[in-house]
Amino acid sequence: MGRWTGVRTAASALLVVGALTASACSASSPQGAGTPHPPEAAAKPGPFLGQCGSVTDAEAAHIADLPQAVVILRNPVGCQWMAPGETADLSFSWYRGSPIGRERALDSATGRDIRDITVGGHRGFSSRDLNNLCEVGVGLGDDFFLWSIRYLIAPSGTNVCDIATKLAGLTVERAS
């Protein structure tokens, strides 16, 4: 019976801790030292960007110097193109009601070189690593979009961030 007493005591302690945790996290508990927290404002949709950021497959392939790239993903909020042999990929992602700062912080946490940029009068950032990868994010109100390009081996003289920035410029120019 002594062996089971320890198990029951541990189980009882876990139940008490669980109950206290649940009650501490309930909606009826105070938010903190009498400081009210205002409700978060609903995100306001930014402009319509169109499928693939309003960039055609031919334009994406030409600008990225990926003449044989094929679309492997296309949906209302993103597109991805892949070069033969997975030697390069290019993607567009549209984030509605999502803060661009979160994406920037994630890229920064991975050790990438982050730079502030402006595209078509809109603030954003570029994020580059040493492995021929660049992402360009541009904020549009409460939305943002991201162009990302990665080469296994970049074509000679290619600045991957210039490519992503050019694609971002087309998206901003064509936004409605």
Average pLDDT over residues 146-164: 94
In this prediction, residue 19 has a pLDDT band, given cuts at 50, 70 and 90, of very low
pLDDT in tens, 21-67: 344 444 444 444 556 666 667 778 889 999 999 999 999 999 999 99
4 vs 72, residue with greater confidence: 72
The predicted structure's pLDDT at residue 173: 98
Residue 165 · residue 173 · CB < 8 Å: no
pLDDT in tens, 4-17: 334 333 333 333 33
Q: What is the CATH number of domain 51-174?
A: 3.40.1000
136's enclosing H/E stretch is strand 133-140
The predicted structure's pLDDT at residue 7: 35
Rg, C-alpha atoms of the chain: 24
The predicted structure's pLDDT at residue 108: 96
Lowest mean pLDDT across 16-20, 23-27, 166-170: 16-20
94 vs 8, residue with greater confidence: 94
The predicted structure's pLDDT at residue 44: 80
Strand order, beta sheet including 70-75: 70-75, 78-82, 88-95, 143-151, 133-140, 122-128, 113-119
Average pLDDT over residues 89-102: 96
